[in-house]
Structure 1
């Protein structure tokens, strides 16, 4: 049986704890009904003196201080609410423990923004990483040695796992159940808990709100112009002249400020507008294409799929109003 340690801290998102416990316990029940041994012993671990704010009546679960853990096969870091300043500092001792247990052979996994814990421990350096799409830019800035792939739902490298945002992170638990219990067990859990398997992208969940967290006033002015005129045929020479720069210098500064070229930024603004129009379902696709500044369906479909991971019709089936 695998010793799974789920780290509980004050700011933890409850669903990222209870969801994990439900799925792993469900996998144990499946294995036992199949005439096999349960796969997981679940340890809810905390810093010494901290209380666990959950009451599970479950024989699979044990409560323990992480300082007393002698052996961990898998450590899972749940999510916390974005904007909780000081979470990493308050859990510095636990991060050191995670790093030490990893050095002893424990595998480590993060759910959603729990990836900050693994990055702070240096366990994501040089690795592809995913997390909630809303923190992708922040993580890449704070930890330049990681390779952020925020479109992915799951990454798995050398016993280090990261997962996408919010409830999509439970797909990582399904993935781990399949890895340690087999495909049939994972399929059973998928059906019982109504969680789709095999999703590889979370790009269609992203909401593009513009990248304004910088101090370059000329670039902010250019961004505002693009956001207000995206439906028109905008040339980069036109926008660079508004920003009082040469085209070459404008592209360089725009990329440095927003992490996108001006052309990429324009496409993202247009596709975000198209997504909202598709969701409202008030207009047919040809009119949406025209309204968002595209001149042909083929180009629109290509850009839409590249940014969202879905075709326009797939997106409509998922998110359009009835």
Structure 2
């Protein structure tokens, strides 16, 4: 399979005590289906999705116990944490696992937590100062235990670029499709969803994928700035500030940032802000002017122009087409 597809993208699935194995195997099958569809499209330019399972045992770091493409030599592009149906509590997390998650994130991996899986991300400290969601039954305890996290319990999925959390026990399919969308494109993600007969937002195929920053480029100085931009929402940034964060002279920073991400810093920030605005338009009832201000635009007119440039739709049209009424109890099962 995929002999002509030279590039490989490794997606790791974490198996911890109490993890829902249906989600582990479901994600594995979802990525296999996506690979097959990409092959059918003869998409040699797309990466082959390599799926690995990482077993947590006691106080040791996770160990690879399954590999769909063992002959490959690749770093983890993403780590997916499935939900638990066994009453997992945050206190069960070992320091070794927390450090392993932080290390993968620092190397450029996107981390995704499904339902209770978001607790592991919270325990690692990676969600501090960031937005996240979790299962509605855990929302109160989550908010009390992690006051530094901006909890959005009424939002089914919070895609923050490098960190993705979902609220539903069965939301592993949407998390998997988000990654297929990023790596193989929205048409293959939509085809995978149709084959599996699972729901998937049409916004990606009609308006372009949600912003998926390139994080696996290996430039630690630029990755540090990217993580900072994701955590702040890029609402108040300047070239000087970003270059200082990277510890680079401005001209050097500009060159390395574009080489690493494929975008100029201003373009990167625009995509990041519009990505957050898309989420708010889909899952909240705030006014468009308020959303513009929240994501960092003092001029609503400028926000509308940039939003249309990136998505092809005016914000009001985007909401009319893709907005949903938040109802956490209706979206978690």
Q: TM-score, normalised by structure 1?
A: 0.54
1:1-322 correspondence runs (5 A): 1-37=8-44, 38-47=47-56, 60=68, 71-81=75-85, 83-85=87-89, 88-198=91-201, 308=327
Distance 1:48 1:116, change over 3 A: closer
Deviation at 1:125, TM superposition (A): 1.2
* 1:286-310 superposed Cα distances (whole Å, 9 cap, x missing partner): xxxxxxxxxxxxxxxxxxx976389
- C-alpha RMSD over aligned residues: 3.2
| Contact 1:155-1:161 within 8 A present in 2 as well | yes
Distance 1:15 1:91, change over 3 A: farther
- Aligned equivalents of 1:180, 1:61: Cα separation in 2: 17
Deviation at 1:152, TM superposition (A): 1.5
Distance 1:43 1:126, change over 3 A: same
> Larger deviation: 39-48 or 138-147?
39-48
Which residue number corresponds to residue 260 of structure 2? none
| Contact 1:153-1:171 within 8 A present in 2 as well | no
Distance 1:75 1:307, change over 3 A: closer
- Aligned equivalents of 1:105, 1:309: Cα separation in 2: 31
Question: How many matched pairs?
Answer: 197
| Contact 2:157-2:164 within 8 A present in 1 as well | yes
Q: Classify the secondary structure of the residue corresponding to 1:3.
A: strand
Distance 1:39 1:133, change over 3 A: farther
* 1:124-176 superposed Cα distances (whole Å, 9 cap, x missing partner): 11111112111111111110011111222221214111112111332121122
Q: Which structure has the larger Rg?
A: 1
